[in-house]
């Protein structure tokens, strides 16, 4: 396990300049002895540069810092919780802050699709399909689509 973590750290060390922090390994399921590599990163981070699985071990990421206003979740006792990562929130944020996102990524020609893919876990359309499926199954709160 330790060798896999060291290999991951070595391979993705250049992303540390962009805010990636590799926090280590963690066992998330003792019965099945399932481990994950824990990382943290800023919200504006090109997720296409990271794998979802590395040498058979899943990557679990958390966001460090403040989220944009589109991702603010209003929770009250009477209202159901909102789905934090609803696809429409990514679209609203990209539409509002496209120039800022391009500047942050250092790519003035970045398309809307590229920005959505970079921010929404590497593949926006895949995230959208998965979110709709989870909503239909009742696993996440309902959300509106654009």
102 part of a folded domain: yes
Burial of 98 (C-beta count, 10 Å sphere; 0-12/13-18/19+): middle
Q: Could you give the angle at the alpha carbon of 137 between the alpha carbons of 120 and 132, nearest 5°?
A: 30
- Together in a domain, 79 and 59: no
143 part of a folded domain: no
pLDDT given for residue 66 in this prediction? 92
Helices (H), 37-106: 87-105
Q: What is the pLDDT of residues 11-29, one digit of tens each?
A: 999 999 999 999 999 988 7
- Together in a domain, 13 and 50: yes
Q: What is the pLDDT of residues 85-98, one digit of tens each?
A: 999 999 999 999 99
Last-in-domain residue among 43, 64, 85: 64
Listed range (1-5, 26-30, 92-96, 111-115) with the worst mean pLDDT = 26-30
32 part of a folded domain: yes
Per the structure, the complete domain to which residue 88 belongs is given by 69-136
* pTM recorded for the entire structure: 0.86
- The secondary structure element, H or E, covering residue 129 is helix 124-136
Burial of 17 (C-beta count, 10 Å sphere; 0-12/13-18/19+): exposed
């Amino acid at each position: 396990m330790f060798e896999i973590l060291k290999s991951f750290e070595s391979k993705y060390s250049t992303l540390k300049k962009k805010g990636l922090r590799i926090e280590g390994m963690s066992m998330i399921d003792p019965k099945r002895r399932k481990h994950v590599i824990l990382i943290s990163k800023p919200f504006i981070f090109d997720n296409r540069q990271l794998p979802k699985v590395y040498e058979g071990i899943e990557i679990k990421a958390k966001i460090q810092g403040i989220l944009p206003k589109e991702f603010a979740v209003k929770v009250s006792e009477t209202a159901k919780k909102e789905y934090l990562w609803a696809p429409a929130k990514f679209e609203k944020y990209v539409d509002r802050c496209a120039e800022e996102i391009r500047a942050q990524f250092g790519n003035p020609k970045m398309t809307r699709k590229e920005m959505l893919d970079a921010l929404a876990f590497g593949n926006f359309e895949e995230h959208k399909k998965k979110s709709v499926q989870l909503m239909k199954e009742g696993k996440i709160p309902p959300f509106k689509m654009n």
